Amino acid sequence: MGKTTRETSVAYIVRPMTADDIDAVCVIEKSSFSMPWSRESFEREINENALAHYFVAEMDGKVVGYAGMWMIWDSANVTNVAVLDEYRGYGIGTALVKTMADIVKENGAQTLMLEVRRSNERAQSVYRNLGFTVCGVRKGYYEDNREDAILMDLDVTKDREEE
């Protein structure tokens, strides 16, 4: 069950993504990113990439958010995190990232890393609240507008405060 920062609490579950979720994930992807991944990309991630771990947040049978990462040796790299706009602010993105951090820790890895657009201050705030710290910048990283990416990482071996 998720927590909320809004007045009304909402119930949702976070579970592993399946091929049946890809259509809903593509809707979220297209509404969230200027350069969305294709359906084929998600199919490859789910069906062929042994390093990939993807999760969805589901509310009343509807997929409202998703997140993914690649586990590589002692660390993992977040590939994407997105929540439908009308479901933002309920802690769903936070729950998805915490789920990934837990999986990373369970698999004996130490670090969860990600890139976030310099202009996406809301996401950066969420990541900081989860314990991520800035560890670098990738100049001109995003192809659509050459925006910088802020690199952030989380040491999953440190205890996080529970919400």
CA separation (Å) from 151 to 25, 36, 64? 24, 20, 26
Cβ atoms of 63 and 56 within 8 Å: the answer is yes
106 domain-assigned: yes
Q: Is 162 a catalytic residue?
A: no
Q: Does some domain include residue 161?
A: no
- Per residue in 95-154, pLDDT tens? 999 999 999 999 989 999 999 999 999 899 999 999 999 999 999 888 888 999 999 999
62-94 pLDDT, tens digit each: 999 999 999 998 899 999 999 999 999 899 999
Residue 115 is a catalytic residue:
yes
Residue range(s) defining the domain that contains residue 50: 13-155
Residue 9 has pLDDT above 80, yes or no: no
Q: Identify the band that residue 5 occupies on the pLDDT scale cut at 50, 70 and 90.
A: very low
Report the pLDDT value the prediction gives residue 144, as an integer from 0 to 100.
82
**To which residue do tokens 């040491």 refer?**
155
What CATH number does the domain containing 116 carry? 3.40.630.30
140 torsion bin: left (phi>0), alpha (psi -120 to 50), beta (else): left
108 found inside a domain: yes
Q: Name the active-site residue from 115, 141, 142, 147.
A: 115
Catalytic residue of the set 12, 54, 90, 127: 127
Give the strands of the sheet with 52-59, arranged side by side: 13-16, 52-59, 62-72, 75-83, 111-117, 149-155, 133-138
How many structural domains comprise the chain?
1
